[in-house]
Structure 1
Amino acid sequence: MPTPFPLPAGLERFVREVRVEAVRARETEAPALTSALWRRFAESGDRLAYEAVYFERRRRLAALLLAAHLDGRPDPALDDLLGSVCDEHTWILPAHAPDGDDPADRERHVDLFAAETAHTLAEAVALLGDRIAPAVRARVRDEVDRRVLAPVQDRRWWWETCAHNWAAVCAGAAGMAALALDSGRLSALLPRVEAALASYLSGAAPDGACLEGPDYWAYGFGYFVYFAEALRARTGRDLLDDPHVRAMAAYPAAIDLGGGHRPAFADASGRGTYPAGLLDRLAGRLDVPVPARPGDGPSFHDDPCYRWAHLSRTLWWTTGAVRRAPAPQAFLPHAGIVAARAAGSAFAAKGGHNDEPHNHLDLGHFVLYADGEPILDDLGAPEYTRDYFGPLRYRTPQAAADWHSVPLIDGAAQLPGRERAARVVAHVPGDPLLLALDLTAAYGTPRLARLVRTFTWRPGRLDVADDFAFHGGECRVEEVFVSRRRPVVGRGTVSWGPVTLRVPEPWRASPEELEVRGHDGRPETVHRVRLTASIPTGTCVFTFRLP
């Protein structure tokens, strides 16, 4: 069926997938969110069991809503699913339940996903109007107000003053829901929403880096932009007209490693697709460079949570216009992040501190790409569990220091804490590119007097020089290099496919592997090479040769 409005080139796959998903949603029954699934988190810390069903229901809702919008006609299956979402006992996730998890408190508790659901439902009735049955429209308006808008107005929420994605998503989604419904609460809510968004923006340093990683940039900054554009359409005020916002908009380009790759610093994935409409809007409005679009265009399945905000703006805002390409090198001085790209190869490293949002113990960590593929890697986000967001976080390999490419000194790994910070000693752009980081404060071992790690990058070669000073003579050091590719340890060499490290004396190399669970809960085998030696004060240089 033709759409009631013209689509730009490049959205063919997206629209085709929407239609396939809409047919599936009409022809099969949506799974139920049961009490047994809810209890799994309290009983075992398992988040995925409930969330898999929750996001399957949001996937169906997004597909039916987009299809009804594209086709300009009513859909009884959409009416039924809207009513079913209104019947859900809560819109939050078990991991975000209020203290005590009283069922009576869940219904009007506002977390990320309650706010997202309110936004989806509010825009559904605003967008489709009388193509949704009158009784369903009225029910949706009542539930959005009762579950989200009224609770936000009636109390202060912790996320209103936080400096990370929660402030942007919760406030932005609630604000867009109020705008879509032309809520009578709008005048009371808008100042609160804007104050929360200001808190969110304060979490990014002047260089615009998102310390939560690129996936949370798309999430938090995406919702900020979506609300800002909705507010501009309503009032003419432009929250994007700000130098700090422009710097934040340029972050994906700064860390882009080409071919859809980016460093998976913090809780992130090393390969992914940013929302296409979001990037095109930022490129068009702010004239910032953005990563290249994938050759086959955006997909309905790019976001595993199937958020309406991303999907709808991909439909509405994707232009297909030529994007300004990222520069070959970038440096984010406040975050201590450097990234460099060359033909088929790339490199990125980070400083920062060890109390960043979604923190990993990774000061001085780096990634290295060759032949367009990751060689030395960052393991990124693990499966989210109760323990991962508690005191056992750093027992998870993906967050632990000994599964990042950083040294262990006298058997001691890096420690968490804001005071455990890297200091940028030097940054020299060009060929070669140089970044020097003082990592001394990251460690608590009394044997360490100084550690400065210097990266020197040029196409075809990366030198990692660790300058150690010790108290009390020689010290045992373990240099760790992490990959998803199985290393081959030879006589005086280690190779990972096209990349070779010549192991200097007196270091001895041993390969290790471990099975971990990725962010999607699937097991994967990861690898590290451990170079071990007892060394005196001095500088050790490790040279990686690339094609």
Structure 2
Amino acid sequence: MNASCLTRNKQKSLVENAKAKSMNTPLIFLFLVILSIHFSIYAQRDFLVASCTPEELQEMLVMDQKWVIYPDYSNREAWDNLLGSHKVSLIENGEAYLDYEWQVVKATDYLDYSRTGNRQTMQDPYFDNQDAISALILAELAEGKGRFLDQIIDGIFMNCEMTSWVLSAHFKISSKEVKNHFPDVNENLIGLYSSQTGAMLSWAHYFFKNEFDKVNPLISDRIQFEVKKRILEPYMNMNYWWTALPPYENKKPKVNNWNPWCNANLLQCFMLMENDKDKLAKAVYRSMQSVDMFINEDKDGACDEGPGYWGVAAGKMYDYLSLLEKLTAGKISIFDKPEIKAMAEYVYRANVGKGWVVNFSDASAKSKGNPYFVYGFGKAVASQDMMQFAAYLKKENPEINIAYNRDIDRALRNATISKVLEDTTPVFKTPEYSWYPKTEYCFMSNEEGLFLATKGGYNQENHNHNDVGSFMFYVNATPIFIDTGVGSYTAKTFGPDRYTIWTMQSNYHNVPMINGVAQSPGAIFKATNTRFNKNKKTFTTDISKAYPESAEVTSWIRNYQLKKDGLTIKDKFSLSETLAPNQLNFMTWGKVNIDNPGKVSIQIEKEKIDLFYNEQEFSIALESIPLNEKKLSGVWGATIYRLTLTAKSLQKEGEYTFQIKKTK
């Protein structure tokens, strides 16, 4: 039994003993109350390992792939029924790769990451190959005539011949010294995409083994050998940081989306390739302990990596839990936990409409979302809002099909809910408010079409930007004041120079520069006294601790109030010294006019707002920021703007007020 189970048993024993001695003694009663509070605050959730012991798990397992709900490859009628209208598009997707030339990922492609910081040199050909294999597998399942098998075999052989399935940028997961981010034949690492490749080949083995054996039994043997060598054995014999399992080299690592992403992929490998019951049980239990670490880490359901990462964070947790539920014939299922439902529903609560989402951290401001996947997760947690939101997404993007980013498991699961999604009434209405008190995210909306997203938090969140106290503001689902997002990932993005990138810096977010000083990165730089009042529709936070000592700020209380016709922002501050004029930054796009003193007019598409400020207090400047990266220009166009209001006087204490009004 694990330590957490012992802790829970000890708690239960203490409480029962105290009850047995005397339920009438006030001191005993007080003891029980204190004990209950203590454990409610400090006890880990450990939902999965609390479900069973390792021995009980072994008895629950559905062996020999009998958990698979999809038809055998040869059952053409069943596949036609399952895929329905998606059959044609899946075959067409595969046909595009019938003449595909498999790409070699060269040694210098790996080396380019160390030499230039460019990840794409290695990733592009690798991902192109994986896209091809995924499309070909789904096409062959849809058609069943063997037309795609030779290309699938070539793709499998190409992957098996690679020294490593790990991306050049991800060799940092090794405990060894990283040398030019180059694959080491003696070290089998498990990362996001190596585990995904293992899962994809495992599904190919499951569905096509008989067909492969007709060509040459060595094909199936090779898949088994490589998955065992690269995934099954290393997972049980190495301690990767993303598992968050002890022993730790230094301290417990911070858990992020790598945990459920990798665990969901490798669970598929074990479920499809391991038929020794004892070995399978040990691997599954280890993965349960690991995924518990991710669930334990969650504070309140918010995805601090942004909605764009939700599908590979909470979404991958859903993949994992869905697989585990099948493997145990429903005996291990935690979808009824409110904490899991909160994590699921974040995807629609952070959606503004028209494809726009609240994009704190590295997420893009635009995200279509996959309606099939959203519906499946919503159904699992019994969220009618999510299921109807999924139908809305499908209506908005009817071209989206069941195929899902080189993920065979998701594609096939999507197929099982396609019909019921089509029959679901599309409804999407932004909630009046969504308040995440631990993550300190707050979203508010009103009947007049205004939507406000604000945050407190701290400057070491996953995929963090220095943006404590920042906000986004939308009119009729059109962003007005924005978070730019992030450009293409390079070596600098996740290295010591991360905050030299302008999109990461607080002075390119909607927050002040205090005494000429920007916010600093790190967990100690945080918001304090963050509060939300749903009746007054206010969000208040003190952002002074997000700045270094050189800012000489003792208090900077920022207050947002969403009103019927706009937004009021108040900054009340106290400085210990005055060193430089304070600057208030607002990031925006579209057409911006600053010609009228005291008023800034912004028009984006059909939406117009005016920002009012005190022209006696501030001078104004408008900076054009060209967007040279496609990842950003594809969202905002060629240019965005930074609007800077600079205080005309130095004062130790004061209050600034800004009014944002919707205009006709």
Indicate the SS of the match to 1:250: helix
Query: Is it true that 1:515 corresponds to 2:626 in the alignment?
Result: yes
Deviation at 1:64, TM superposition (A): 0.8
Does residue 1:65 correspond to 2:137, yes or no? yes
How does 1:28-43 map onto structure 2 within 5 Å? Answer: 28-43=100-115
Task: Measure the CA separation in 2 of the matches of 1:394 and 1:17.
Answer: 43
For residues 420-450 of structure 1, what are the alpha-carbon distances to aligned partners after superposition, in whole Å with 9 as ceiling and x for unaligned?
A: 11124431114x5111111111112353121
What's the CA shift string for 1:146-169, capped at 9, x where partnerless? 111111112211111041111111
Question: Is the 2:231–2:269 contact (alpha carbons within 8 Å) kept by the matching residues of 1?
Answer: no
The 2-side partners of 1:518 and 1:103 are apart by 29
How far off is 1:271 after superposition?
Answer: 1.2
User: Percentage identity across aligned positions?
Assistant: 22
Aligned partners of 1:301 and 1:508: how far apart in 2? Answer: 53
Determine if the alignment matches structure 1 residue 81 to structure 2 residue 158. no
Q: How many Å separate the matches in 2 of 1:39 and 1:287?
A: 48
Aligned match of 2:415 in 301, 315, 320? 315
Q: Which residue of 1 aligns with 2:660?
A: 544
The answer on 1:504 being equivalent to 2:610 is no
Q: Name which of 127, 143, 156 aligns with 2:239.
A: 156
Distance in 2, Cα, partners of 1:460 & 1:67: 52
- From 433, 439, 445, the equivalent of 1:341 is 445
Moved more, 441-450 or 329-338: 441-450
The structure with the greater share of residues assigned to helix is 2
| Conservation of the 8 A alpha-carbon contact between 1:122 and 1:180 | yes
Question: CA contact under 8 A between 2:394 and 2:400: conserved in structure 1?
Answer: no
Name whichever of 479-488 and 447-456 sits farther off.
Answer: 479-488
Q: 2:489 aligns with which of 356, 377, 384?
A: 384
- Describe the SS at the equivalent of 2:502: coil
Q: Residues of 2 paired with 1:36 and 1:527: CA distance?
A: 39
Whether 1:408 aligns to 2:508 is no
Q: Tell which deviates more after alignment, 351-360 or 523-532.
A: 523-532
Which amino acid in 2 is paired with 1:265?
F
SS at match of 1:367: strand
Q: Deviations over 1:275-296 (max 9, x none)?
A: 3333112221212232431423
1:137 and 2:220 are equivalent in the alignment: yes
1:329-367 C-alpha deviation (Å, 9 max, x unpaired)? 211111111112345442211111111111110011111
1:52 equivalent in alignment to 2:127: no
2:95 to 23, 44, 52: 23
Aligned-residue CA RMSD (Å):
2.5
Q: What does 1:116-135 align with in structure 2 at a 5 Å threshold?
A: 116-133=196-213, 134-135=217-218
- Aligned equivalent of 1:529: 643
2:544 is aligned to 440
- Greater shift in the superposed pair: 17-26 or 465-474: 465-474
Classify the secondary structure of the residue corresponding to 1:238.
coil
Q: 1:15 to 1:398 in 2, by over 3 A?
A: farther
Does residue 115 in structure 1 map to residue 195 in structure 2? Answer: yes
Structure-2 residue corresponding to 1:330: 434
Q: Distance in 1 between matches of 2:590 and 2:459?
A: 27
Contact 2:470 2:509 (C-alpha < 8 Å) held by counterparts: yes
Q: Determine if contact 1:69/1:128 at 8 Å carries over to the other structure.
A: no
- Give, as a single letter, the amino acid of the residue that structure 2 aligns with 1:429: K
Equivalent position SS for 2:353 = coil
Counterpart pick for 1:188 among 275, 282, 296:
282
- Of the structure 1 ranges 409-418 and 344-353, higher mean CA displacement relative to structure 2 is found in 344-353
- Does structure 1 retain, via aligned residues, the 8 Å contact 2:402–2:415? no
- Among residues 181, 202, 219, which one is paired with 2:312 in the alignment? 219
Residue of structure 1 in register with 2:24 after alignment:
none
C-alpha contact (below 8 Å) 1:110/1:170 kept by paired residues: yes
C-alpha distance in 1 between matches for 2:600 and 2:403:
36
* Rg larger in structure: 2
Which of 123, 141, 147 pairs up with 2:230?
Answer: 147
How far, CA to CA, are the matches of 1:298 and 1:475 in structure 2? 53
The answer on whether the counterparts of 2:508 and 2:642 sit within 8 Å (CA) in structure 1 is yes
Give the Cα–Cα distance (whole angstroms) in 1 for the partners of residues 563 and 523 of structure 2: 32
CA distance, structure 1, for counterparts of residue 645 and residue 564 of structure 2: 25
Partners of 1:402 and 1:545 in 2: CA distance: 24
- With over 3 angstroms needed to count, the CA separation of the structure-2 counterparts of 1:66 and 1:367, relative to structure 1, is same
Greater shift in the superposed pair: 476-485 or 339-348: 339-348
* Residue 168 (structure 2) pairs with residue 94 (structure 1): yes
Give 3-state SS (helix, strand or coil) of 2:318's partner.
Answer: helix
Which of 338, 346, 349 is the aligned partner of 1:243? Answer: 338
The amino acid of 2:506's aligned partner reads: A
Given that 2:303 and 2:310 are in contact with CA atoms closer than 8 Å, whether structure 1 keeps it comes out as yes
Partner of 2:468: 363
Deviation at 1:51, TM superposition (A): 1.1
Higher relative contact order (CA 8 A, sep 6+): 1
Output the CA distance in 2 between the equivalents of 1:282 and 1:88.
35
Instruction: Give deviations 1:380-403, integer Å, cap 9, x for gaps.
Output: 222111111111111111111111
Answering whether residue 292 of structure 2 is matched by residue 198 of structure 1, we say: yes
Cα offset, 1:188, TM superposition? 2.3
Residues 39-48 or 178-187, more deviating: 178-187
1:12-68 residue CA offsets vs partner (Å, 9 max, x unmatched): 5x6555333311110231332112211110111100121111111111111111111
Amino acid at match of 2:316: Y
Moved more, 353-362 or 508-517: 508-517
Aligned pair count?
541
How far apart are the structure 2 equivalents of 1:521 and 1:81?
Answer: 33
**2:361 and 2:463 in contact (8 A); partners too:** yes
The question of 1:351 aligning with 2:425 is answered no
Structure 1 CA distance, aligned partners of 2:394 and 2:657?
A: 38
Q: Hey, what's the Cα distance between the residues in 2 that align with 1:231 and 1:298?
A: 31
Other-structure match for 1:104: 184
Distance 1:298 1:195 in 2: 39
Q: Which residue of 1 aligns with 2:52?
A: none
Equivalent position SS for 1:180: helix
Tell me, in whole angstroms, the C-alpha distance in 2 between the residues paired with 1:476 and 1:50. Answer: 46
TM-score, structure 2 normalization: 0.76
Using structure 1 for the length normalisation, give the TM-score.
0.92
Corresponding residue number in structure 1 for 2:378:
283
CA contact (8 A) 1:275 1:314 kept: no
Aligned counterparts of 2:403 and 2:462: Cα–Cα separation in 1: 24
Query: 1:301 Cα shift?
Result: 9.8
Would the aligned equivalents of 2:302 and 2:436 in 1 still touch at CA under 8 Å?
Answer: yes
1:412-423 → structure 2 map (5 Å cutoff): 412-423=517-528
How far, CA to CA, are the matches of 1:307 and 1:285 in structure 2?
Answer: 19
Match of 2:324 in 1: 231
